[in-house]
Chains A and B, each alone.
Chain A
């Protein structure tokens, strides 16, 4: 796990590269209580909604992006994630999630990193972007 003293402005976190599978989206929609066929799970409905194919729900994209920070700095490190959904996120396609540290500060006794975070596609599509606040411990 990284320490606050080990990171600098401009450092990169990630990338985390993965795909949202059809089965993964279906499972997520079930637990979300949205298990009826929808633009997230049904190609015909997605087409009717002028999508190229079934898409990943915004809250699932957010959960995937949160993984970048919890994988890197632990389960309680992510304090704030503020995202803008710029383009529909497709299933079964590589998604790359990466962040850049844009500020480091101490706030209310906590070591806080501010990061720009972005989910991109294989051809540089900027699907989801935003900001994250991450808390890191000091070196013992």
Chain B
């Protein structure tokens, strides 16, 4: 039988909005320097323009740096002690370009328990939709956090 978790279910259906986050050349530069990026489209404005873009292109997971800036409420999960970042999913929809203004809208997607060889863990999954200044969705991001029994 599935474990019934105790948490704040009233959070379902509530959107938590944040932004706009400006995508500057400095943001793209720090992100690409951090990961040792070498693809010219992401690091050289001239190369990006030559490839037909209006300016520098952001690597496809850039918006993950904005997720933590969304103020998310405590789900009041009554299970386990310490938590960890268990997984992340990014669905890229539209390229993010220098000059974009990105807004975020997050909601609680799921809370569930899973039992494996090492015991039971509880997972909290938040889903965030990122849009640009034109209202186009640029990416969907899911982050899951786990707590061990």
Interface set of A (CB-CB < 8 Å, partner B): 18, 20-21, 24-25, 27-28, 30-34, 58-60, 62-64, 66-67, 70-71, 74-76, 78-85, 130
Contacts and interface: CB of A to CB of B under 8 A. Distances in A.
B33 A27 contact: yes
Interface of B: 27, 30-31, 33-39, 41-42, 51, 57, 59-62, 64-65, 67-69, 84-92, 95
A27 B30 contact: yes
B133 to A, nearest CB: 19
Interface of B is mostly: mixed
Contacts, number: 102
Contacts of A63: 31, 34-35, 59, 61-62, 64
B88 A32 contact: no
Given A24-B35, A83-B88, 20 more contacts: A21-B36, A27-B33, A32-B68, A58-B88, A60-B34, A60-B35, A64-B35, A64-B36, A67-B36, A67-B39, A70-B60, A71-B38, A75-B59, A75-B95, A76-B60, A76-B92, A76-B95, A80-B90, A85-B84, A85-B86
12 contacts: A27-B30, A31-B30, A31-B31, A62-B90, A63-B62, A67-B39, A67-B59, A70-B39, A71-B39, A75-B60, A83-B88, A85-B87
